[in-house]
């Protein structure tokens, strides 16, 4: 799965307009930052200032519905996007910088499964976010 976002869009048969190509290109380089729409819009308009924010909203929604992007909502209340081409993972948010670190902890997943089953349920999806500060940066406690 090393295809570019553009290739995946074409593979899904999405009509590739100039605007969507620009947005796909920006996502290609920015998706590791989990950008929100405002951040995407800023980069997109550097490339083509005529693209509207409505188109960015419509495009990320389309890509999410096509299974190409994943929408995250962290504690800041805005939607943040990443590509859907990796294994399931959870997120650690660095409170000092806002940086998002992905992690995967199969043991935690297994414990969740076990617990939920015991409660008589079947997991559809879950989200785990850890908000943390670096150990060696200035501490407030």
Residues of this chain that interact with its own copies (CB under 8 A) are: 73, 75, 77, 92, 94-95, 101, 103, 105, 107-108, 111-112, 115-117, 119-136, 139
Instruction: Please tell me what DSSP assigns to residue 36.
Output: B
Stretch that binds DNA, among 48-56, 105-113, 121-129, 133-141 (CB under 7 A): 48-56
The binder of 78, among DNA, its own copies, none, by C-beta within 5 to 8 A per type, is DNA
Rounded distance, CA 72 to CA 98, Å?
A: 14
- By rule CB under 7 A, what string of x and - marks binding of each residue 66-105 to DNA? -----------xxx--------------------------
Q: What are phi and psi of 36, to 5 degrees?
A: -90, 175
Which is it for the CA torsion 94, 60, 32, 110, positive or negative?
A: positive
State how far Cα 114 lies from the chain centre.
27
Among residues 11, 42, 47, 52, which is the contact residue for DNA, using CB under 7 A? 52
Note whether 22 and 48 are within 8 A (CB): yes
């Amino acid at each position: 799965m090393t295809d570019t976002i553009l290739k995946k869009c074409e593979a899904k048969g999405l009509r590739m307009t100039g605007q969507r190509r620009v947005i796909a290109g920006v996502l290609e380089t920015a998706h590791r930052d989990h950008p929100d729409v405002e951040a995407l819009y800023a980069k997109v308009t550097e490339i083509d200032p005529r693209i509207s924010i409505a188109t960015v909203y419509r495009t990320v929604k389309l890509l999410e519905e096509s299974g190409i992007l994943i929408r995250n909502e962290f504690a800041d209340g805005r939607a943040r996007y990443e590509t859907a081409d990796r294994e399931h993972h959870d997120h650690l948010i660095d409170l000092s910088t806002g940086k998002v670190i992905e992690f995967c902890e199969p043991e935690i997943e297994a414990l969740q499964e076990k617990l939920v089953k015991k409660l008589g349920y079947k997991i559809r999806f879950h989200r785990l976010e850890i908000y943390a500060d670096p150990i060696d940066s200035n501490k407030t406690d």
